[in-house]
């Protein structure tokens, strides 16, 4: 995937500018933000909370954003394109749903099981998929997702097959001193705040990972795996750890989604492996916050367009094509390269 | 034994019908600047790959600092203190010069740490600064590596290898594609580096080899033809013959 960015920069170079400025001023290396991304996410959450009229959509934006942000760890930071990221999301949904239905209504327990069980499963799936690189890796992830889909379809006694798991009870949230009921319909604000808190904590963890020595090695592997090995790194281990983290985050997002809808089934869960990629690419691969922008954009477009056009996907698809062609670094790259503070700094730097 | 940092014994490797390396013995003394030369196809690259673990030997063994490293995966060999600089410039193109070197510098002690920010680890950043200073890239620390000139990218390639604090540095044609002035600067740098790290290199430019190396091994069709100091190699009749007839 990193090749795409390199190609763009050389493309810019042929327009007559000196190569140095081409790569710099072009979209190849978007601004890197660290902890500032947390503030941006908190700001975005507040804006979504006050402007999006449909609470279920507002909460969905945070959940999809989280899922997509975890995927971007693989895609943007690791250069590994997963076509099968529906698997961990759906697994997390089923795991949390089954916990709430049959074991306990504790939100913490359901989310913990969704996350941890997916992390364990990811070790196995990742170990197989990472035996190959590039497109072969992508195809293997897709194969696992398809495998999961058919198991979910056939194993009716556990997954409910075509009908899914309906009537998942409202979960309870134990906090020190109080016990709250996370009812997305009855008290959407509480559910929104809980989701936002979880998402912000997880994003903080992801940022710490990408800024840590190991996360930096991941980015070096994306740039040149052979050289990273030459520096003494077992590149497979770093990639596997990343794969597991991305899987666990998707599992958590799936669990939240099951709690939001009180339903898990084939319909949304298994069909979103492509959508979540679109969100990440649209939002921008250069940051962890970018995919949240992608999720907002995609879901708002969907909700507005689908009200007026039966074939709204056509329009979204066209917009996606235009976005990829005009700003391959996504909304994040677009914002950071045109934002006023960036321009200011460039003026100051050239002096 | 302790005088030798690397000892290759009876290394052997064939590809199909081609016997690329046929029973090569190679001893590298600690602190030396050892060059392997030979015409194209004489087995230099295969020999390097056998040492670094990129290629498994058909027979023979490699000992690095007294430990058997035969067939060990490349990252483990690297971790033991054997660094390689590449013939085709190999850097992390979209990372800054500083980050390129920092990645290598952190490998010794902090490779799999994920719970603290990398930029806050003082010994690593200080080591990175020292390496950049030494290689002469301190000025361009903030530049994206892919934007460097060809000569500077080669220096960066060397800086990455050096930042892992190796005990043996493998240089595969370090001056390939360089202008005469860059070549001279690199020769000087290699001399300077050799003061505290053992170097094993290959090179096509004979004047470079003769001016830097203290020991030269001449390979021809996968076997060692001759080994000695620069003056002996220059005057050896068989070497002259191979270089006059073999390179055409």
Question: Per the structure block, which two tokens stand in for A28?
Answer: 């190849």
Q: Cα A123–A127–A129 angle (5° rounding)?
A: 115
Q: Is B26 contained in some domain?
A: yes
Label residue A21 by pLDDT band (50, 70, 90). Answer: very low
> Is B111 among the domain residues?
yes
Tally of domains in chain B: 2
pLDDT at residue A185, as a whole number: 83
Domain ranges of chain A: 34-343
In angstroms, the CA B246 to CA B248 distance is: 6
Rg of chain A over all Cα atoms, to the nearest angstrom: 20
B138 and B75 co-located in one domain: no
- Co-location of B107 and B144 in the same domain: yes
The answer to whether residue B176 is domain-embedded is no
B152 plus B203 within the same structural domain = no
- Asked whether the predicted pLDDT for residue A339 surpasses 80, the reply is no
Task: Locate A27 and state its tokens.
Answer: 């979209």
Q: What is the pLDDT of residues B2-17, one digit of tens each?
A: 688 888 888 888 888 8
What pLDDT sits at residue A118? 94
* A124 confidence band (pLDDT: 50, 70, 90): very high
Q: From the candidates A35, A208, A212, which should be mutated to test the interface with B, based on the most B CB atoms within 10 A?
A: A212
**A27 band by pLDDT with thresholds 50, 70 and 90:** very low
Angle, CA of B87, B88 and B90, to the nearest 5°: 110
Residue A138 to residues A134, A141, A145: CA-CA distances in angstroms? 6, 5, 11
First to last CA, chain A: 35
State residue A172 phi and psi, 5-degree precision: -110, 145
Cross-chain CB nearest to B103 (options A28, A216, A226): A216
pLDDT at A6 over 80: no
CA-based Rg of chain B, rounded to a whole angstrom?
Answer: 18
Main-chain phi, psi angles of A205, to 5 degrees:
-60, -40
pLDDT tens string B74-122: 899 898 888 988 877 789 999 999 999 999 999 877 667 887 888 878 8
Q: Tell me which residue range forms the domain holding B157.
A: 82-165
Given a cut of 80, is residue A91 above it in pLDDT?
A: yes
Cα(B158)–Cα(A27) distance, integer angstroms: 28
CB contact under 8 A, A223 and B95: yes
**What's the length of chain A?**
351
Classify residue B178: in a domain, yes or no: no
Cβ of A6 under 8 Å from any chain B Cβ?
yes
Q: Which residues of B touch A (CB under 8 A)?
A: 74-76, 78-79, 83-84, 86, 90-95, 99, 102-104, 106-108, 110-119, 121, 124, 143-144, 146-147, 160-161, 164
- pLDDT tens, A289-310? 999 999 999 998 888 888 888 8
Q: A349 at the B interface (CB within 8 A)?
A: no
Q: Which residues contact B50 (CB under 8 A, 6 or more apart)?
A: B8, B11, B13, B21, B56, B57, B60, B62
Q: What is the CATH number of domain A34-343?
A: 1.10.3470
What sign for the dihedral angle of Cα B146, B150, B156, B157? positive
Residue A348 pLDDT: 60
Give the residue, A181 or A235, on which the prediction is more confident.
Answer: A235
Q: Nearest-CA distance from B21 to chain A in Å?
A: 23
Examine the domain organization and report whether B120 and B146 are in the same domain: yes
Distance CA B39, CA A296 (A): 61
Residues of A in contact with B106 (CB under 8 A): 213, 216
Q: B234 and B112 share a domain?
A: no
Write out residues in chain B with pLDDT < 50, as ranges. Answer: 1, 247-248
Q: Which of B49, B81, B90, B92 to mutate to test the interface with A (most CBs of A within 10 A)?
A: B92
Short-list B65, B42, B66, B46, CA closest to B57: B46
Q: What is the DSSP letter of B4?
A: E
Whether A267 has its CB under 8 Å from any CB of chain B: the answer is no
Is the Cβ pair A208, B86 closer than 8 Å? no
> Residue B16 corresponds to which tokens in the numbers above?
């199909």
Q: How far is B37 from chain A (nearest CA, A)?
A: 23
Q: How does the average pLDDT of chain A come out, rounded? A: 84
Evaluate if residue A14 carries a pLDDT over 80: no
ipTM of this complex prediction, to 2 decimal places: 0.86
Residue A158, number of CB atoms within 10 A of its CB: 12
Residue A20: the pLDDT is: 38
Point out the domain boundary residue: B116, B147, B165.
B165
- pLDDT at residue number A8: 35
Cα separation, B28 vs B31, in Å, equals: 9
Please, are residues B160 and B104 in contact by the beta-carbon 8 Å criterion? yes
Statement to judge: residues B1 and B16 lie in one domain: yes
Contact B75 A214 (CB under 8 A): no
CA gap A195, A130 in Å, rounded: 32
Residues B235, B243: Cα–Cα separation, whole Å: 12
Distance (Å, rounded) from C-alpha A252 to C-alpha A273? 16
**Structure confidence at residue A25 as a pLDDT band (50, 70, 90):** very low
Same structural domain for residues B44 and B91? no
Residues B159 and B92 in one domain: yes
């Amino acid at each position: 995937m990193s090749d795409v960015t390199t190609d763009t920069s050389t493309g810019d170079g042929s327009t007559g500018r000196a190569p140095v400025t081409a790569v710099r001023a072009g979209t190849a290396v978007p601004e890197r933000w660290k902890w500032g991304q947390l503030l941006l996410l908190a700001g975005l959450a507040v804006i979504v909370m006050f402007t999006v009229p449909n609470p279920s959509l507002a909460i969905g934006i945070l959940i999809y954003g989280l899922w997509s942000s975890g995927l971007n760890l693989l895609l943007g930071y690791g250069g590994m394109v997963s076509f099968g990221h529906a698997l961990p999301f759906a697994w997390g949904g089923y795991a949390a749903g089954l916990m709430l239905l049959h074991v306990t209504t504790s939100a913490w327990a359901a989310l913990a099981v969704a996350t941890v069980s997916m992390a364990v499963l990811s070790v196995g799936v990742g170990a197989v998929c990472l035996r190959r690189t590039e497109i072969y890796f992508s195809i293997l992830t897709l194969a696992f997702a398809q495998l999961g889909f058919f198991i979910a379809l056939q194993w009716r006694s556990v997954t409910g097959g075509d009908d899914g798991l309906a009537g998942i009870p409202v979960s309870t949230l134990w906090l020190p001193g109080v016990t709250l009921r996370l009812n997305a319909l009855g008290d959407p604000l509480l559910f929104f705040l809980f989701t936002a808190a979880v998402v912000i904590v997880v994003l903080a963890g992801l940022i710490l990972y990408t800024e840590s020595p190991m996360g930096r090695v991941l980015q070096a592997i994306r740039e040149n795996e052979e050289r990273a090995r030459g520096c003494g790194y077992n590149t497979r281990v770093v990639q596997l750890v990343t794969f597991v983290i991305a899987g666990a985050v998707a599992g958590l997002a799936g669990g939240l989604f099951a709690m939001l809808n009180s339903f898990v089934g084939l319909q949304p869960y298994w069909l979103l492996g492509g959508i979540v990629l679109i969100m990440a690419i649209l939002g921008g691969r250069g940051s962890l916050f970018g995919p949240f922008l992608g999720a907002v954009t995609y879901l708002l477009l969907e909700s507005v367009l689908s009200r007026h056009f039966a074939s709204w996907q056509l329009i979204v698809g066209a917009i996606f094509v235009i976005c990829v062609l005009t700003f391959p670094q996504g909304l994040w790259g677009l914002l950071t390269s045109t934002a006023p503070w960036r321009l200011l700094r460039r003026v100051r730097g050239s002096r | 034994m302790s005088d030798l940092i690397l000892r290759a014994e009876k290394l052997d490797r064939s590809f199909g019908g081609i016997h690329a390396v046929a029973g090569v013995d190679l001893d590298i003394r600690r602190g030396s600047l050892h060059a392997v030369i030979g015409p194209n196809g004489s087995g230099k690259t295969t020999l390097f790959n056998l040492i670094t673990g990129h290629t498994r030997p058909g027979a023979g063994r490699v000992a690095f600092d007294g430990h058997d490293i035969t067939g060990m995966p490349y990252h483990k060999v690297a971790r033991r203190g054997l660094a390689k600089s590449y013939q085709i410039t190999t850097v992390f193109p979209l990372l800054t010069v500083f980050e390129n070197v920092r990645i290598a510098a952190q490998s010794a002690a902090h490779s799999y740490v994920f719970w603290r920010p990398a930029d806050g680890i003082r010994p690593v950043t200080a080591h990175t600064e020292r390496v950049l200073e030494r290689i002469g890239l301190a000025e361009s620390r903030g530049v994206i590596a892919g934007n460097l000139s060809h000569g500077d990218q080669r220096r960066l390639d060397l800086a990455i290898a050096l930042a892992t604090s190796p005990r043996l540095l493998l240089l595969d044609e370090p001056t390939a594609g360089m202008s005469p002035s860059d070549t001279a600067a690199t020769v000087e740098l290699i001399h300077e580096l050799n003061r505290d790290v053992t170097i094993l290199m290959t090179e096509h430019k004979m004047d470079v080899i003769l001016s830097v190396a203290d020991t030269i091994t001449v390979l021809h069709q996968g076997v060692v033809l001759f080994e000695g100091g620069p003056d002996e190699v220059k005057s050896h009749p068989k070497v002259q013959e191979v270089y006059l007839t073999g390179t055409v």
